[in-house]
Each structure stands twice: as structure tokens, then as C-alpha cells.
Structure 1
Amino acid sequence: MKTARKICSAIVTAAFVVIIASPLLVLAVSGTVEPYGRIPFTAFPPVEALSTSSSGAFDQLASALLERSQLKKTAITVRNTVLLKVVRQYDRNNVASGKDGWLFWKDDWFGGQCQKKYDVKMAVSRVGAMLDVASASGLEMYFTISPDKSTLYPEFLDPHFHKLWACKQQSADLLRSTIKTEAPQIIDHLTALQSEKENPAGNILYGKADTHWTNFGAAVSFRQLLAAIFPDAKGIPPPALTGKMAHPPADIETTMLLVGNGYPETEINTSAEIAALSSVKPFDRAGFTVILDDSFYNKVIGLTEPFRRGIEYYLYADPQEIVKAILASDRLIVSRIERAVVDSVLTGPLSWPGALGQSLVARDELAAKECRDFAPVRGEPKLQAMVVDANGYRATASDPQMVTTVPVSGSSGKIPCIRLQLTLKNPDIFEIFFSPHSGEDGAFAPGRSVQLPLGAGDHAIALVLPSYLAGRSIRIDPGDLGQETAMREVQFGWRSSTGEAAR
């Protein structure tokens, strides 16, 4: 009996040792695996921390070793496959399952919260202002939005996760209603995709296990943009299909470490597609087109083919390279996925301090060098927290403002310009608010403005204003802080509407 107990105890002990040591054994045999699941590996603790038995050091070491073992990767694959294929519900690592095997990226749903009306209106208004500033500088600019997967395919959302996506439709509707009133120039690809979705052919537009649209969905959306850019280029043929189904890798499937070969999608005839897009090139009057995009436009086959000269930049590329390219361009196309539009425009790479904003301001400043016939502001501007003295306009408190009317040129073909001298004691943001295109003059709104982040010291500012502002009011905010802020020599001038784009 004692012998049997010893044998059982030895077996249990051996099994425990094998379980504990198995990750190390697998590491020794197969080596470490590459990072997976979009989550970086836990870093190894410093040797000093291990030698001194610092708190948590050995736990960190264990996590680092386990995560790099094929054993854990395989265990995750098994777990996720069971949850998706057997339990049919999955909610981990920013992924949630839907109906019929559909998978959704939870960033689409803003953490289960509704987007704030103030933020959405400010972001959309800012895009509208950027489009106006680009036009004033002689740059042909387009801003497009790729819809979220759950916006186009809400019927596949799982009611079990309703609390996560309950606000999605409200947020999507808010964005589009705001675009309609504040920046109707924005190209929303949801329109083209919803129309194609109703096509009896039933081509797949978004990957079932991917966050992105398919190559076919990308091609449909790109044709919508081309129709806006080249209205004379009639009859761009629809995407040519091979008659086969492709199985490209699916990013959510990869994130979940699922065993599979992607999900099927309609295969496009690449050579025929490039030939079709190249047929537009003779209609292109722009010498140089810059495309600033995210991973959605990266799915477009033949993205630069319709343009005489086109180059693509990822929106998180080197800002200096982006500025340099946009300064030399005649046309700018900016594209962003729906879920990231507001944050990108308010605080990200599409904000005024970001790569896009820096590019547009630099472009406008160069165009302003062509302005002529400057004259001082006419009439008495309306001042807030500012007084007039012998040196110009001086701030007396925070949030100083000057409201004045942009003059109207006595001849046609003139675009208004503004220039002034500014002194700041501290770094601040100089901002000019625009009246709306229509409606009440002087109805200034957050976002409908151009911003210049400036350092302390003296600044000479010169900008070309959107042409529609002639005869309408603008509001100049020299800086929110207002401490010893001084503004002088505020003047308006004119630039020819036929002037060359500054580059």
C-alpha cells in the first residue's frame, strides 16, 4: 500500500513538474514565437531585479517566458476556436463575435458610448474649414470617409452584445447629419457601398473576419471618389472579376489566432482593374496628387493609376515628408475610417497641429506671398478683452477677440488675404474663425476656423482667406492666454484667383 501511494505521489509530482516546465520545454525545442494578437510581449525583467528578488520580478519573468512559448499560442487558438465555433460568442481583445460567424472590431463602438454632439460638430466643421483653406491656397482637396463595418452591416451584430454597440447607429447618424449641414463637400463612401449592397450580384464588401472592406468594396468606393474628381470621365467600367473567390488573410482571424485561410471574397482581375483606372489619366489636369490615407485606401488596387503623378502617404508617416509633398502638389486626397474621424481631426494627425494642418497652413502661407494691395481694416472692429492704443490692439484679459468684416474687392477674380503682426509672451494658438457659408453672418462655431500654434515672441502672419468670406465677418483670436498679447498692422489684401498654387 505504501509503495502504491509513493508511486501515485511520484506521478502527481512528475505531472505537476511537467505542467510547470512545459512552456520552458517547448521553448527549448521550438524556440520563441513571433508576437501575436496585436499585443506586445511582456518585457523580461532586469537581471538586477531577479538577483535581488524584487517584487514581481519572477512573475514578470514567468509571463515573458510563457507568452513566447508555442504552448500558450496554441492554447489561445484552441480557446478562441471553441468560443467562436462551439459557444458562438466571443468578447476578448477588442473583438466581439456577431451573427453567422461575423467578427467585429469593438473600436467601432466607442467603448459602448455615444459620440458627443459637440465633438462631432467641431470635427466636421474643422474638416470643412480645412477644405476651404486648401481651396484658398490653390489646392484641390478631397476628404473621404470609409464607413465602419458595423455601420454597413448592422444586421450581423449579436444582440447578446447590445450594450456594446447600442449607440453605434446613433453615432453614425449624428456624423452624417452633421456632414450634411456643416461640410457637405465630404465624400462618404457609405453611400456607394449601401447602393452596391443592394445589388443582386451579392459581392462581398467587407471581410467577414476582417476589419476592412474587401478589394471589391474598396474598388466601388474609389470609383465614387473618381466620379467626384473627374466628372468628365464618364463610364469607368465596374471592377472586372475573375469569377473565382480569393482567400486573403483576415486581420481579426489573425488577431484571434484562429486556424483558417481567411474568408472568401470576390476576386478582382488586377490587370483589368489597373487598365480601367488608367483610362482616367488623360482627364487629369493636376500635375501631382498626394493621397494621405489609412489602411482602408491601402486596399485599393491601382490607387495611384488614375493620376498623372500620384504618391501615397500613410497618415502617420513623417510629418515633414507629408508637408513637403503637399506643398509640391496640385491635389490632395485625405481618407479616414469612420471610427477615427473625430479623434484624428480634433487631436490627431488630421488636426491643425498635426501633419495635415501643418501642411495646409504652410501651403496657405506660401500662397499669401502672392497677395497684393494691402490696406488697413476699415471701420471699428468689435473687441473683446482688447483695447486700442498707440501700438495697435492689446489684450487686457484672457480670450481676446477681434471681429471685423472682410472687404469686397472692386474687381472680379480676387481672393481676400489678411496679414498682421503679433507678439506673444507665452506659446499660444492663433486662430481665425470663419462665418458660415450661408446663414447668419458672424455665427462663429468651434471648428470652423484656421489655427496656428505659435511660440512666444514676434510673428508676422499672412494668410489667404476662403473666397466666400469677402463681405462677411471673421473673428481673430490672437491667443487664449491673452497675457501681454499685442496685435498690430491688421490689413486685408487680394490674391488673384488664377494665381499659381504656391509650391
Structure 2
Amino acid sequence: MTRSGNNFGGLVVLVLLCSPILLLPLSLDRNAAFIREAENREPASFPVVQAAGDVLDTQTWDGVSAWLRERVPFRGDLIGLKRWIEVELLNERRLGVVDRGEDGWLFLVDSYGGHWEETNQTVAAALANTDAFLARNAGADSNFRMLIAPDKHAIYPEHLTDDGRRDLALIQEDRDRLRARLSRGDDARIIDLHSAMLLEKSESEHELYFRDDTHQSWYGGAVMARAIVDSLQPGLWEDSSAVPTETIRHPGDLRTLAGLNSYPVRTEQVLVTQRPGVELQEVEFDGRTHGDFSVVEDHPHSWQYPVRSRYESDGQAELIPGRTLILHDSCIGWIARPLIRPYFEDLTFMHYSDATPESLSQALQEYDNIVLEVVERLAPATLIRLLAEPDPDAASLSWGRDNSIPVWSLKDLEPEKLYPADGVEANLADGKIDLTSVAASSAVVFHGLDLSAGHRQVARIQLESPGLGEARIFWSSDAQEMSIDRSSAASIRGGLNEFHLDLTPDEPITKVMFEPGAGAGSYVIKSIEIRQIAD
């Protein structure tokens, strides 16, 4: 007969061995929330296997490993405990991707520029692209402006750690070259925001950057707004127009990235621009027209979405006339939009990741003013990509030409021709699909198409995504299987995405599969339209 003590001990051991599996359902939501809030990204999705050979691909198994690591029970809590030990007991200064500087100042390690030596991110290539772009468009009718938003360490180097100063020194020559080219006073197309920030710092009692965030404060945002407005119409900006409205608790993104969530949240002063005699007429956002910005302000990802506003003046206050496009990153998106917009008659904000060399080329013909803003740490890669010479045969340009013929759209799709993948719930209504997936793949298949072989087809897709990924469209005939060889893809991010993809069928297209590509979650496929490009 076995003693009860042995049974109890065995039961304890069994529970301990099985605890990761038992606790997994309780920790999945906590892990996902930690990744989104503390690591500022989306959880890794399970890799999609498109062909048998993918099972042997190293990248597939790297993806599986990442997916498993993120599902360790209470991963975020364990990381938080580790961070407390590092800060409170060991006084560590480098906390993963964040440096803990003096007086509560936090700095993003990536902002030091070590990645500038990587392929397609070098300063030399970025400056060559910039010079070629400016020369190529010297005769454009549009007023073009570009500015580089300094990273926080460039304005407040006195708060850096010793490690931060060491890392900055390694890339200082490239940084000096970039700043020298993009601060030239003899080119009206270049806005020298770095010098403007340093001048304001020397004269102002306010901090121009959040101590625990990568972004400038509202006071720094006002410096940026003034630089943009006065570059297009000198002397128009009025410092008195940027008025304090409220004080809010602002949990900085670096505070979260560093795992310092248990530390007190700082309060910050909010500024907005108010100009007597200037009145908002309408706002265009997410395909609808509104009378104010309330819908925009309530949307969690509105800073990534295109927003168009129109203002009128009573004649006393001057507005910058014509249509203006500002391509920007989160430096303007989070803070400076409300500070800038009341100075413009007709202004569209758009995240620069939505732009391409081809769309920028078109914008130079359609807008009266174009402003490109990008933060310094991302400037080389962005200038290399966005200021490249446009491809005259790019899908986005071919889509809008006279020889493009509409041949199919989601509005033509009958509900019974829609086939979601396993684990995917899809509802078709009014030419759009609301889609929810609990699986790694969120694919939907459309049957009943009849598109000619031997002709180039271009699809324009509008997609609301829960996170980063790669959207892909597949096409085939009834006799063919879906294959990666008959597909094309585009990188996407959280929020609204619009992109154009080429379809080059060797047989008539009778079915299409669309994979949104950001893993499990909720999507809205707002539209898919296909046009045939005539010879």
C-alpha cells in the first residue's frame, strides 16, 4: 500500500510541472497587453505556411520560437520584477532599449544612430537621394519643404548616460554630415528645426521634450509648428496663438518601454492654437465629413490616419492659401497637428509611411505646398525610400491612368462567394468586410471572378489592421492551386492602410485569396478594387 505522503508529494510535483500549461489561458491577455503597452508593438503571429518547403525554412522556425516565447505564462510580470531589481537594487542605467539618464530623463538607445551603418540606412545614400530629389523637382510648381525633427539627446545632451555619450560618439561624423546638409540657410526648401529648438531652449523656461517620452512636448511642438508656418509664409506665426488648455497625466512611451510602469506618471501642459477670426469649416476623416475634430480625437490611431481640414477667415487673420499636404511621423501626429492646422486654408495630414516615391511625385503636381517631416533617427532610411526616383510603371501610378479599366470590386462580391479560412469570421456588407480571426491566418477567399489572362491587373486595397504585418493577395484559376508564386504583398501597420498590388495572371483569374497578414485580431477590409491595364 502506497503512503499518502508520497501521493501528495507526487501531486505537488505534477502540478508544478504542468503549471505553465494550466496558467497559460490566464496569462495570454496579460502578455498581449504587456507587449502592446510596454514594448510598443504587436504580439508575434504564428508563421503562415504557404508551401511544404516552408516547414524546412529557418525563418518559419524563428517565427515559431518568437510566438512561443511571448506566450510564457506571466511573461510581462517576470520582466517587470527583473526591471525593479535592475533599477532599485543594481542601479542599472541601460534598461533594454532605453537609457536611464540624469534627473528622470530617458533616452531611446536606437536614437543614437548605430543602425545608420546598415544597408539602406546610410547617411551617404540618404544625402545623395535628397540632393537628387531636390534637383529633379527644382522646377515644381508646388512649394516643397522638409525638416528633420531632432531626437531628444540632440537638444538635451547634458542628461545622457556615459553609455549614451559613448554610443553617440561612434556615429558622430555621419550625424554632423546629416545636420550640416539639412540646416543650410541658402535653400528655402530646408527647415532647420535643430537650430530653432536650441534657440528656444536657451530662451524658454519650458522643457521642449518629455523627460520620459521620445516625443517633444507641446512647447516643443509649438516650435515645430512655428518653423513650418513661417517657412511657407514668413512672419505669419503668432506665439500668442498657442495657448494652454489643460494639464494632463502623460505616461511617456519610454517609461513604458523601460518597464517603469510602477513609477509616478508626470503631468504635462497641453497647448493648442486658437486664432480669433479663424473658423473651422469641415473635417474629412476615415471617408466621412465632420463638423469638428471630436471623432478624430476619440479614435485611438487617428494620428496615423489621413485627416483633411478646411478653415475660413473673417478677413482679419491670414491663412496660408491653397492645398497643403504635410507628410509626418508621430512627432507631428501625436502633438503638433492641433498647433499647425488653424494656419492653413486647406490642409491634409498623412503619415509618411503611407507615401511612396510615386505618390509624392503626384502630390507635387496636385498640392500647392508639401511639407515632409521625419525624426532624425529614422531620417536616412526614410529619405532613401521616399525620395527615390519614382517608377513610371508602379502599380499606384498605373491605377489612375486613362488606360485602367475597372473589372471587379468587393461591391460585386455575392455573400455566398466569400469563404473565410478556419478560425475566421467574416461579414460582407456595403462593399466591405468586417473580419475577426482567432487563428494565425486571417485569410478570406473570393470566388466567382472572371479576369482575363495575359493582362496586367492592379488591385487597390484599403485595410484597417490591428497591427504590423504583411498583407498579401493570391490569385488563381479553377485549375490552379494558390501559390506564393502567384501573389504580391505590401507591408502594413496598425490603423488604416491603402496600397496597390500587381496581379500578373498566366491563366484567367477565377478566385482570389486575401491574407491581411497581422495575425489574430479584428480587421476591416474597407475596399478591394481591381483594374485591368489596357495595352
TM-score tier by shorter-chain length is 0.5 to 0.7
SS in structure 1 of the partner of residue 379 of structure 2: helix
Q: Which residue of 1 aligns with 2:326?
A: 291
Q: 1:22 to 1:101 in 2, by over 3 A?
A: farther
Q: 1:189 to 1:124 in 2, by over 3 A?
A: same
Deviating beyond 6 angstroms after TM superposition, the runs of 4 or more aligned structure 1 residues are 2-5, 45-49, 53-63, 112-116, 273-281, 357-360
- Paired with 2:183 and 2:57, the residues of 1 have a C-alpha distance of 57
Q: 1:15 to 1:156 in 2, by over 3 A?
A: farther
SS in structure 1 of the partner of residue 32 of structure 2: coil
Deviation at 1:206, TM superposition (A): 1.3
Out of 369, 372, 378, which is 1:334 matched to?
A: 372
Deviation at 1:25, TM superposition (A): 5.3
Q: Which residue of 2 aligns with 1:130?
A: 133
Q: Which residue of 2 aligns with 1:255?
A: 257
| Structure of greater Rg | 1
Q: Is 1:195 aligned to 2:199, yes or no?
A: yes
- Paired with 2:391 and 2:331, the residues of 1 have a C-alpha distance of 20
Q: Name the count of aligned residue pairs.
A: 350
* CA contact 2:129–2:387 (8 Å) conserved in 1: no
Letter of the 1:306 partner, please give it.
Answer: Y
Out of 149, 152, 155, which is 1:152 matched to?
A: 155
Deviation at 1:189, TM superposition (A): 1.1
SS in structure 2 of the partner of residue 166 of structure 1: helix
Q: 1:276 to 1:189 in 2, by over 3 A?
A: farther
Alignment of 1:398-477 (within 5 A): none
Q: 1:143 to 1:21 in 2, by over 3 A?
A: same
Q: Which residue of 2 aligns with 1:101?
A: 104
Q: 1:269 to 1:220 in 2, by over 3 A?
A: same
Deviation at 1:192, TM superposition (A): 1.7
Q: Is 1:309 aligned to 2:313, yes or no?
A: no
* CA contact 1:84–1:97 (8 Å) conserved in 2: no
* CA contact 2:355–2:386 (8 Å) conserved in 1: no
Letter of the 2:217 partner, please give it.
Answer: T
Q: 1:79 to 1:138 in 2, by over 3 A?
A: same
Deviation at 1:13, TM superposition (A): 1.2
- Paired with 1:193 and 1:171, the residues of 2 have a C-alpha distance of 20
SS in structure 1 of the partner of residue 367 of structure 2: coil
* CA contact 1:290–1:326 (8 Å) conserved in 2: no
Deviation at 1:58, TM superposition (A): 11
**TM-score, normalising length from structure 2?**
0.54
The sequence identity of aligned pairs, in percent, is 21
Deviation at 1:134, TM superposition (A): 3.6
* CA contact 1:24–1:65 (8 Å) conserved in 2: no
Q: 1:120 to 1:245 in 2, by over 3 A?
A: same
Superimposed CA distance per residue, residues 413-446 of structure 1 (whole angstroms, 9 cap, x where no aligned partner) = xxxxxxxxxxxxxxxxxxxxxxxxxxxxxxxxxx
Q: Which residue of 2 aligns with 1:175?
A: 178
Out of 213, 217, 220, which is 1:214 matched to?
A: 217
- Paired with 2:186 and 2:389, the residues of 1 have a C-alpha distance of 17
- Paired with 1:289 and 1:60, the residues of 2 have a C-alpha distance of 42
Out of 264, 270, 274, which is 1:268 matched to?
A: 270
Q: Whose strand proportion is higher, 1 or 2?
A: 2
* CA contact 2:102–2:161 (8 Å) conserved in 1: yes
Superimposed CA distance per residue, residues 1-37 of structure 1 (whole angstroms, 9 cap, x where no aligned partner) = x969837843761563254335425248x68734431
* CA contact 1:313–1:322 (8 Å) conserved in 2: no
